[in-house]
Structure 1
Amino acid sequence: MYKRVLLKISGEALAAGSGFGIDAIFIHKVAEEIADVHALGCEIAIVVGGGNFFRGVAQQAIDMDRVAADHMGMLSTVINSIALQDAIEKRGLFCRVMSAIEMHQVAEPYIRRKAMRHLEKGRIVIFAAGTGNPYFSTDTAASLRAMEIKADILLKATSVDGIYSADPKRDPKAVRYETISYDQILRANLKVMDTTAVSLCRDNNMPMMVFSMREQGNITRVVAGEPLGTLVTP
């Protein structure tokens, strides 16, 4: 259904419930799903968070300068990106990590035209180090990169099966939305993404699908057009 997608995966998801680090079994399952999406003929770019190692707004950074803490968070995303690249390449696919912070020994510098060329050649591209700027989350980086590479849709893989009116883990009466607009998310202050990312998608007409990645095969199903999760429209 989609020719080119950008997949956003949280760092916490790669920890697979352990809270810290990378779960080796789970990251290979994710790589397998990405390979399945690639086999459909879909061009796929990925943004990975770094919350399984360090978050600039987390408790452990409470006494740190925000800029320094955010730079540490960006480096965490590079660790996750290299780990995911390794798992994907073990599937026999070509994968490139492009970092917003230059570190030539471990990743290519992010250059938009080069990223699009990689995608056109059938390579999987992982965008690391967020936007390269403090105060911007990896959600904002995913929104920005999705628009820069002209993705058809932004796919946000989470631990829940869509967007709810409240936290479903705390409120049993929470209702899941089939579709919702960015304006509704902002008005209701739903914690789907930070407001910068939501506004960026809204202002540039970028659709987004929020779905659970806990069930094997969900990424492939979403790309194939199955109605999973919540569709967010401008």
Structure 2
Amino acid sequence: MPYFPPGRVLAIEDLENMEISIPIRHRTEDNAQGNTQGNAQGIPEQSNNAQISAEQYLRIKTRRRRYLDLHPEYFSHELELADVLLYDHYIRRFYTPAESAAADVAKGFADALEADLWRAEAKVEAVENPNPNHDFVYYRQTNGVIVSVDKGEEEMDREEAKEAWRFEMKWRFIRGEDDQFNYKTVDENVAYDDPEEERELQDAYLDAADDDTEMGDNVELTGETGIMDY
């Protein structure tokens, strides 16, 4: 089951800042225990103390985003326990009784019971110790039921809330915070390179070659064959 450390819920306008401060982590014993240390540029060192370059940093970020684009099933009910309050506020509170029952059946009795227990404990904690970084708060109604409400003046509708949840879980994944995911299978997999980006690099290379050709006699072709090697 994925686990993400609790954090502030991101607003859309935070996206630009998020893209320049994404930790690159691999699933190791040190990471699971929270011992990964970052450098001054906001790009943490890997467990073997080897630092990554800016190019590697961008490529890894791109591959993680590409993975999520190709695997939308990642955003399933299995992410509920990753942050039960986040899931409760943005997903569960919009369930109809029939949808709630169907979700429990999909998870299975044991997992549904575990989620209920975690959620109940987390709600009590949220009432007693509100998280200032969350964009919502929990309070106890006169009938004793604990519910959540957005801090803003306008409440989100069902679709807006779903998008907010996906947005938050997407960036937690890209930052490398899913301790149950083997990031190495994505970070080192060329299959998740962005085709558009690769085409741009190839076009730039061909453009440079065309520029050299247009220079005519001023270009000295080198190589064992006497012609320019590609």
Question: Common fold, TM-score beyond 0.5?
Answer: no
TM class by smaller structure: under 0.3
The two structures have a TM-score, normalised by structure 1, of 0.23
Structure whose residues are more often helix by fraction: 2
TM-score, normalized by length of structure 2?
0.23
Greater RCO (CA < 8 Å, at least 6 residues apart)? 2
Larger radius of gyration: 2
Q: Between Structure 1 and Structure 2, which shows a larger proportion of strand residues?
A: 1
